[in-house]
Amino acid sequence: MKEENKSAVPGNLDIKEIEEATRAAALVCYGVVAIVKRDKMPPRLADWVDSQINKKGIPEDAIFVRKRSNRTFSVDVYLVLSNEVKITEALVECQKNIMYILNKKFDKACTSVNVYGEEILAS
């Protein structure tokens, strides 16, 4: 019997798979050093994000997935960037790469990707 790829079916979106694909797509981008750890976010920002997303549990990385009733989702990613790059260009390219990878893997179910440069790594 042929095994189906459940991640390609928009109705069966798995948040862990989306987070893993987002993490992989972000970390290969030029200028991205890491993804901010959830416990390193400022308390007000963390509370605001939690209130917007209504997500139970605290993920290790600051990647937030919002599933919608119409079988689509959006992603927010908080990044640590190198100080040797143009911040806006690094964020735009990272956003494009994440959107491309997620739409390719999940059959165009990703409606938006928001990337935030939360920290700059000083050398």
Helix or strand run (H / E) with residue 82: strand 73-82
Domain-located, residue 59: yes
Domain-located, residue 52: yes
At 54-79, the pLDDT tens digits run: 444 444 678 989 888 888 999 999 99
Which residues span the domain enclosing 46?
6-121
Total domain count, the chain: 1
At 5-21, the pLDDT tens digits run: 444 444 577 889 999 99
Q: What is the CATH number for 116?
A: 3.30.70.1350
Helix or strand run (H / E) with residue 120: strand 110-121
Q: Kindly report the backbone phi and psi dihedral angles of residue 27, in degrees, each rounded to the nearest multiple of 5, phi listed first.
A: -75, -15
Domain-located, residue 57: yes
Q: Within a 10 A sphere around the Cβ of 36, how many other Cβ atoms?
A: 19
The average confidence (pLDDT) of the chain is 79
27 near 35, Cβ under 8 Å? yes
- Calpha distance 102→10 (Å, rounded): 12
At 24-54, the pLDDT tens digits run: 999 999 999 888 876 666 565 555 555 544 4
Domain-located, residue 24: yes
